[in-house]
Amino acid sequence: MGLFKRNKATSGLLLVSDRGIQQVKTASYGMDLVQEVARLLGSEHIRSTKLGEELTLWYAEDGPGRARSGPPNPVASRLAAEHGAAPVTGPAVVAGPLLYGSPYPLGAEEITQVSGRLHG
């Protein structure tokens, strides 16, 4: 696919947890990216929320369709609220867009922009 021409060495995800915001480099996309997100979140029960056309927010659930218990993740919840989405509990992963049903990582420029917004 011509769309994924960004430098794979600088593509990545942003892991947003109580430990802060961490950049995770990845060249994965599609189902390989979904598996990587599940590994980062430590759960096979994950859900995604499209945030506009350029971002996807991934988070874990206690089970299929069952939201995680506990306090909201303030940083991820703020990002979700900016796009009219529900608060997120626990760690979350910010990825690039869902295109034709396949998830993509963030490019280097997107990582810088989103990370700056999240730190702001």
pLDDT digits (tens, 9 = 90+) for 60-84: 999 888 888 889 999 999 999 999 9
pLDDT of 9 > 70? The answer is no
Which runs of consecutive H residues, i.e. helices, occur in 1-119?
31-41, 74-82, 108-119
pLDDT of 16 > 60? The answer is yes
Q: Please write the tens of the pLDDT for every residue from 98-114.
A: 999 899 999 999 999 99
Closest among 103, 31, 86 to 94, alpha carbons compared: 103
pLDDT for residue 22: 97
Show me where the domains of the chain are located.
Answer: 19-106
